[in-house]
Amino acid sequence: MFKTVMMFELEQTMKKQKVNVLDVREIDEYNEGHIPGAIHTPMSEFMNHLDKIKKNESYYVVCYSGSRSQVVAGYLGNNGYQVINVLGGMSTYKGKLDYEV
């Protein structure tokens, strides 16, 4: 089970506190700009990156629009992780971008 929020809600939360963001876009998409501090876990290789995610922490899951992040959030939520899907994804993100990999 997981919760869903809109991107503007994540952006408001990020202004108030530090959050964990999982970016499940593929490498080329991530390199075009991502939320600073995001943990890159490409959906195509997601199972290889589970060691980056801790069950005792909460994560916002983002992709480009919210579809891939919903799939990943569903998997993680059903396996005991605390996740929040971000609907609208990076296509609606208005904050600062980072380009370092």
Q: What is the mean pLDDT of residues 79-91?
A: 97
Per the structure, the complete domain to which residue 79 belongs is given by 3-92
pLDDT for res 1: 84
Burial state string for 21-40 with b = 16 or more CB within 10 A and e = fewer than 16: bbbbbbeebbeeebbeebbb
In a domain, residue 97? The reply is no
pLDDT for res 101: 73
3-state secondary structure of 37: coil
In a domain, residue 55? The reply is yes
Tokens (6 digits) for 6: 């809109």
Q: What is the mean pLDDT of residues 8-20?
A: 97
CB 6 within 8 A of CB 65: no
- 28-45 pLDDT per residue, tens: 999 999 999 999 999 999
In a domain, residue 100? The reply is no
Q: What CATH number did the domain enclosing 14 receive?
A: 3.40.250.10
In a domain, residue 24? The reply is yes
In a domain, residue 7? The reply is yes
In a domain, residue 101? The reply is no
DSSP 39: E
In a domain, residue 13? The reply is yes
pLDDT for res 34: 98
- 50-83 pLDDT per residue, tens: 999 999 999 999 999 999 999 999 999 999 999 9
pLDDT for res 66: 95
Q: Could you give the number of structural domains in the chain? A: 1
Q: What is the mean pLDDT of residues 8-33?
A: 97
pLDDT for res 16: 97
Range list of β-strands (E), the chain = 3-6, 20-23, 39-40, 58-62, 82-87
